[in-house]
Amino acid sequence: MMIRKTLKAVCQKKVAVPFLCGVLAVGALPPFYFIPCLFAAFSGLVFLLDRIESKKQAAMTGFMFGFGFFSVGLIWVCNALMIEGMGVKAFVPLPPLGFGVWGGLFVAFAAWVASFFKKGVRRLTAFSAAWGISEWIRSWLFTGFPWNLIASVWTDYPEMLQTASFWGSYGLSVVSVFAAGLFAFVHDKKTLLKSLLSVGVIAGLLFGFGSWRLSKAPATTDTINGVWIRLVQPNIPQGRKWNADEAEQNLMKHVHLSRSAGAEKVTHVIWPETATQFLLTQDEFARAMVTSALTPGAILLAGSLRTQKENSSLKLFNSIVALNDVGVFLGSYDKSHLVPFGEYVPFADVFPFIRKLTPISMDFSTGNGVETVAIPRTLPVGMLVCYEVIFPGQVVDKKVRPYWLLNVTNDGWYGISAGPYQHFATAQMRSVEEGLPLARAANTGISGMIDAYGRVVSSLALGEQGVVDVGLPRRTDQPTFYAKYGNAIPLLLCLILLLSAAVPYKKKEL
């Protein structure tokens, strides 16, 4: 009787409890990986949704969960506004509020959809499917921002990741949310055992498939002959990175790291996003320095600004450029998925008083989209600049499958926080989904090599300066099931789950 009264009192806390559940769920995300938080948070949310009759109240409950999850899970964005010289410290409270409201709407949608279904397992099933659909929607709505997909809680557990090769991150998120919500139905020993058994079966299937897939995978030391990559992480503080007085010093830091011990066997040197203020394809001084950074025959793949004249206008690109050891330009890739307010101002004509948060006042132009880039003495590569890596199903040229992916980034904006860990986790997810190794170079963040199964071969920690010398792992022999069919697979799964939740069952449910 006392327990029932307590639960009833909890349910009356219509705002605080779902908000706290959302905050609790953050504990399962990188870099914490405390999985019990996932089960406690979603079981708590489903428990609340199962005791709500009003669709409006269901949506509000979901909104508050999402507000807690996204405002706290993305609070590290505030660090970008606190960098000295930015002049925007007064706006520090805005990111948590903005992300909380934005993210809350997606969870509100999932909870609202679930409220149309019968209470119990069917409502949980519908909620899990709607959650997966909401993650997919936020990958493209308003240019998209699919950050902190629930599937990322498994990136520290390689076996649990492998089903993403079949149904992608969205599919793994759906199953994870369903399993995490099963303890909402526990009210005695019998239902506890039933929930434990159900969770055990789901986890066992995920782990079993992952173990089987990894047992057939080559060792992480099985690399492509003749390719030895050096990932450079200079760890330049963001407040100094764009200081004009330190431009040459920062460039030379990249050069010295590129030429440090072991450089004689390196075939490819990789510098992070916007590694230097100099335009590497146009500035003769910078190109001379690049030449001194490379041993004979080596190739530099560097994040760099690039300009291009088109008619009477000048376009600015956030690019990856390739140069050889004598400074010859070999090719480039231009970022196509730009960051709103960081690289361009949306609706600038309507709101001319809004400015970008980055030091460069000029808006960046978009590239031609995802493509496999062919560079001399380099295996065909798919290039991704910064957060382009976070979009499931949108990182590989389907016409020409690359041998590897390259992601350059600058996570220095976000300091020592959860953000860089979450960003690195998304790169792991893309490797599993596409069956491709991924090399990642960060100004600071986490630089490293990830194999085609999401396993970290070698890495350099957040806040460290140095290099990672590593071979290039092999891609899977064939594209993964997800790589072939993309997001049609998880969306079909969600549709099937919604239909199954609508079918009446004769057997007693949880």
344-390 pLDDT, tens digit each: 877 666 666 566 667 677 889 999 999 999 999 999 999 999 999 99
Q: Is the separation of the CB atoms in 86 and 79 below 8 Å?
A: no
Q: Is the separation of the CB atoms in 113 and 127 below 8 Å?
A: yes
pLDDT tens, residue by residue, 413-451: 999 999 999 999 999 999 999 999 999 999 998 999 999
Buried b (16+ CB within 10 A) or exposed e, 324-353: bbebeebbbbbbbbbbeebbbbeeeeeeee
Residue 87 pLDDT grade (very low, low, confident, very high; cuts 50, 70, 90): low
> What residues act catalytically?
273, 335, 386
What pLDDT sits at residue 342? 81
| More confidently predicted of 362 and 452 | 452
What pLDDT sits at residue 6? 47
Residue 92 in this model has a pLDDT that exceeds 60: yes
Residue 83 pLDDT grade (very low, low, confident, very high; cuts 50, 70, 90): confident
List all residues 6 or more positions away from 279 whose beta carbon is below 8 Å from its beta carbon: 286, 304, 305, 306, 307
Q: Is the separation of the CB atoms in 489 and 253 below 8 Å?
A: no
CA distance 359 to 384: 22
Q: Amino acid identity of 227?
A: V
3-class secondary-structure state, position 78? helix
Concatenating the DSSP letter of every residue in 123-161 gives HHHHHHHHHHHHHHHTTTGGG----S-GGGGGTT-HHHH
- C-alpha to C-alpha distances, 191 to 12, 197, 314, 454, nearest whole angstrom: 24, 10, 66, 36
Residue 279 in this model has a pLDDT that exceeds 60: yes
Work out the average pLDDT over 36-63. 96
Q: Which of 371, 374, 447 is nearest to 409 (CA)?
A: 447
- Give me the count of residues in the chain: 510
Q: Which of 330, 298, 281, 297 is nearest to 229 (CA)?
A: 298
Task: Say yes or no: domain 223-473 is CATH 3.30.70.141.
Answer: no
Residue 89 pLDDT grade (very low, low, confident, very high; cuts 50, 70, 90): confident
Domain with CATH 3.60.110.10 in the chain: 223-473
Q: Give the global pTM.
A: 0.94
pLDDT tens, residue by residue, 297-351: 999 999 999 999 888 889 999 999 999 999 999 999 999 999 888 888 776 666 6
pLDDT tens, residue by residue, 107-143: 999 999 999 999 999 999 999 999 999 999 999 999 9
Work out the average pLDDT over 79-94. 80
Dihedral pair phi/psi, residue 100, rounded to 5°:
-65, -45
pLDDT tens, residue by residue, 392-412: 999 999 999 999 999 999 999
What pLDDT sits at residue 360? 73
Per-chain mean pLDDT for the chain: 93
The strand pairing partners of 340, in sequence order, are: 344
